[in-house]
Structure 1
Amino acid sequence: MKKRELAIITLKKEAGEVYANQIRYFLGDNIKINLYSFEEGNITFFDEKLIILSVKLKYEEISTMCASDTQIVIPKLTFEKSSFKKIAKVDKCETVFVYNLSKSMALETITLIYRLGMEIPNIMPCYPEIKKIPPNSVVLTPGEELVIQADNCEIIDLGYRIMDLGCITDIAIKLNLEHLIKEDLLKKFIDKIIPTSYITQKLLVTQTKLENQFDFLLSAIDEGIICVSHDGMVQFYSHVAREILSLNDNEMIGKYIGDYIKSFDFNQIKNKEITHLQKLIKVNNIDINLDIRYTNINVFSGFIIKIAKFYQTEKKQAKLRAQLLDSGNVSKYNFDDILGISEDILNTKKIAYKMAQSNSSILIIGESGTGKELFAQSIHSSSSRKQGPFVAVNCSTFQEGLLQSELFGYDEGAFTGAKKGGKIGLFELANNGTIFLDEIGEMDLNSQANILRVIQEKQIRRVGSDRVIDVDIRIIAATNRDLRKLVCDNKFRKDLFYRLNVLPLKISPLRERVEDVFLIFDSFKKNLDVHFNLSDEVIAVFKSYRWEGNIRELRNLAEYCSYIDKKVIAVSDLPEYMLESIETKDYCSEILKKNNKLPIPNFKRDLNDYMFVLRKINEAYILKQRIGRRKLYEYAVEEKIFLTEQQIRSILLELQKFEFVKVLSGRGGSIITEKGRNFLKQN
């Protein structure tokens, strides 16, 4: 039998050998691997049907040198633990340079270091064109030999990056060799690499690439996974789920899930198109986080249930809570710290100061990076509550159950793993002061209801307690989202919106107050103790640039320019993303325009059946009419389209799952959504 062939294309031959050895570790000699490298110059036409290309920038060139049905995979990379330990030893106070063969490759390596959780405040890319690194610097390199001047520098070789587990899995599936990947090999590999937190999310959220991968990824996941069919019958469950539920190996297979998790009514999801549900339940007197998601892939259609012990989930949040509570709970800034001479910012400060004299709730609205917390602290510092605490909490940081225990606290014994003596909540900590709820638009609906009660009753109740506690607090909320739209989408409570929006304060983005840009930029230069000037061309760029990241982006740019080590910053010295955006006023919009076509979902039936249903519902929408399954069936008979009424029902449910239509209850019929109308136009 002829072996399956795979091509690996890299810049350097040595890197290709690393990837080849990694693939052979899992697939053995069942595959023929052909190595090509730009270093050797042996790039020619490729007969292989699967190509691993390590250089993203070479994609267009390589795609012209192979057959139309060839699949090209750009591997996701990670580091071995031994490499990560070297990075961890670097002094975080020093400026660290990351060297690679090009600027884009150096930036990719920096992104990977951050993605794997390593916090290095001052990290800069370097590459051959830079020519020289400042003496006595620390330089990280992923297996590349430096060809630039680096006097007395500490060179730390991290070794070549390796492909992550998801990429190996993808290769095995494309070659129909997934059966060769054994559990013991997976465990050894996982012990060797840096674990990434996205594996669980990839299993439960990303449905387009699941296919057979989850079967052998489960050993790397520390939550319990249960696969359940539409009728609630268990198809599969992981060893972690077995341990949490105290089951024997295959005891639950083929049985109804409700017989084993009795504290939740699975009729809520059974045979219904509920795509996502989260809840805190009790199983065997243990508090369990329950996360249910609907999925539909080639080999499985039903519900994937994730279960995890609540106290274990809470431990993962321990560092975040520690940082939050150790912050001092005091405001550090006042209105004098808010720089700006534009009419916009002066008027906003004037309005905010007047709001500070009130005790009503304030809703600060502004893009990310505009300084919403700076305004919140300044308002507190200018209010009658300035001697009281200022407690800030980011509502997007915590899961639903954890957010409520953080905000309201809990009593001893409220749940398994609860701290002895209980825990004071953030609302209690903010008593006689101000609580700042950042990213309020990300808060779940249950927590919103509890917040509303605090505003109305001025009382809180700890989790697991029957006692109410009086609190005297002022709430300042902030968001970068359109809360009115969230209210219309039933994702934010209307009554809470009007309770928070008593005193709305809008902060203009930096691009609307260009006269403030250079004043703020100069203050950052002063804080960094650097001295350089901007060329006239750069000044013009600053004035026309959109500053999507606002003041935060401006500060990052000041720090970036400080490392260039030039007296005058020219346009060519600016970061690559700024240079790319000079030609367009809205770079993000241009990118979105290129990618705004809706993909065709993996429908169960022929696409024409769905287009027929969408077309008829759209015609009814134009006539401001509702249309039901029976009428759609009659249209199908008229147009000689062979669809039963039951098949039309299934089509409607699928279209609703992809948000193309909304199926109303009773005799309400179905209506097409804006997304559905766009999909109809495109197809």
Structure 2
Amino acid sequence: MATKKKISVIALDPRAGKSYGEDIASLFGDVADISVFSVLDGSAAGVLEPAALFVASTDAYGSPEELAKHIPLDSQTMAVEVSFRWSDLRKLKALPTGSKVLFVNLTQTMAREAIAQLEQFGITHIHWIPFYPGARLDEDVRIAVTPDEMRYVPPGMETVIDLGQRVCTSGMMIEIALRLGLESLLEGAAFQEYARSVATNNYSFDQMFARSIRLESRFHILMESLEDGVIGINEKGEIFACSRRAEDMTCVSAALIQGKRCEEVFPYIPFAECLRTRQTLQAKVIKVNGVNLSVEVVPVIRQKACIGAFALLQRFNDVEVRQNELRGQLLHKGYYAKYSFDDVIGQSEAIRKAKETLARMAVSESPILLIGETGTGKELFAHAVHRASRQAEGPFVAINVAAFPENLLESELFGYEEGAFTGAKKGGRPGLFELAHKGTLFLDEVEDMSPALQIKLLRTLQEREVMRVGGNRIIHVDVRIVAATNEALEQKVREGTFRRDLYYRLNTLPAVIPPLTERGDDMFLLMDHFRRELNGDFRLTEPVRDFFRCHAWPGNIRELRNVVEYFIYTGHRDITMEDLPPTLFLSGETLSRPTPAPVRQEQPPSDAFRFVLSQLYEASETGTPMGRDKLLQKAREFHVPISQQEVRSILSDMAERGLARVSRGRGGSHLTPKGRELWEKGQR
């Protein structure tokens, strides 16, 4: 007796995994052992035992890279594909035309994805309403449909149709048979009954044809299962196959064109070129009978001989629908915005103004440049902008530019084709621009991008198209850019390290995120939030609160959160000055000391000191920030001999004496009331 092959099924939810395993077992249970693993119940943790084939749902681990960490090297893998049974679709067809019907699922995206699939199968006579936990219920809806999510069906429904877990497609079952060399099962009654019962499509044509070219009956079943239209010719260019979908697309009769020359019937399909070059001709858009069709021609090579070719036809609109469905699935893999403007904590004038400004900017499609010191929450604002934008239903993709070397960053942003470089994934990989199509791409620390990549990014923003590394085809993308920087890009433009044209592209809608020092008592609201989040129990004494108001907070909100976490482990409920982290007492140009400064002999202020004081005073009068770079620029304009080190030393001295509040980045430095008094006193 032959040894059974092992098939391992991996899913996120145990119920879904059990359902997929039962579907596969119904066709392959006699010749294969089926094991089911789930991420949620922990059975899919660690590296799984070897198997002839791993079948994983797209939401199991979140990405192919994560899946690869859990299966042995060189294992065969494929994705779970699901559909509905025809019997369930007939139930839905019987619903009264024009009815309002809830489709109840776990999330809005999952509900919309299933509705889109039902509409593709012709269930368009009713008005679908996606419903999910937290959704608002329309009071006049009395019918609900759900794929085994009865727990979320609202009470009061007069009619409830539970479709049960969606079933595996027959195309997926065909691919399993091809992968494991079990083609003989495809002619069996069990498979044919399964194929008749499931409304399904979409599987690997190349593998299907390579293994079943000589088996006409088997090939016919597989061809008619394809969602694409299929036209086949032999090595002489004679037509021997034309699927029903191809008939519909080209308006021909398969019976009447059998045996005819391909160029006579389909002069717009480059069959002859494919037979001559023995190369796949990539998909091109061709208008046939007023309809745009995507046509790809694939040669059939058997034992080094070209024995024919197949044309794969798709309606162009159907291609767009599939791409949008796949991109929608990415929302389950982490490409979504987690925060809104309601998650931005604070009541200060500075933070309210930033939120109001960005909320107005969000409805535009122009790039936004977030400018702020490290730790001010630029990425949180990027999430919020996406949630408030017209692209809110699309993906939100974020990348820290500084975290990647140049060569890796290029492939991350623009993707790569198979064989583009050593270690490139088979089949290539889409870049973040493609994954963010119809959504938002957040580029953090954009100032660290190399000059070469700046050029490529500029072209992408101008033309709205990308080309993968190692590729030769243009891919259209519709992406809204939100960039962030914690440095003054204007200075980098002047230095020549950042392209001026790209700067103006990204700087269309600039917004400054205020540092913690400009947000007043927001810091205490934030501390309360972090304390609750970390399950802490402490309160600040008044001296500590006064110290925090004077502290420069160079790490901003990130530093504040670290301080809160430190307080939780002091073991004290009342936090005094002795409980402060030692790092807060370190010296530095933007760090304050709680200990009193030693008594010093007052020296007459130098010319450089008076100049800096005067410039900070003028800036305070106009309400504009004044940083070190601007002070140096002003010094050159007024021919004041002063070095960068002298400016830094003077500002540090002013901060220690309480004359100025010094911040990093765009926040600049500001005179305190004491500093203004010193300048006004000197002018009397």
* TM-score, normalised by the number of residues in structure 2: 0.39
Larger radius of gyration: 2
* TM-score, normalised by the number of residues in structure 1: 0.39
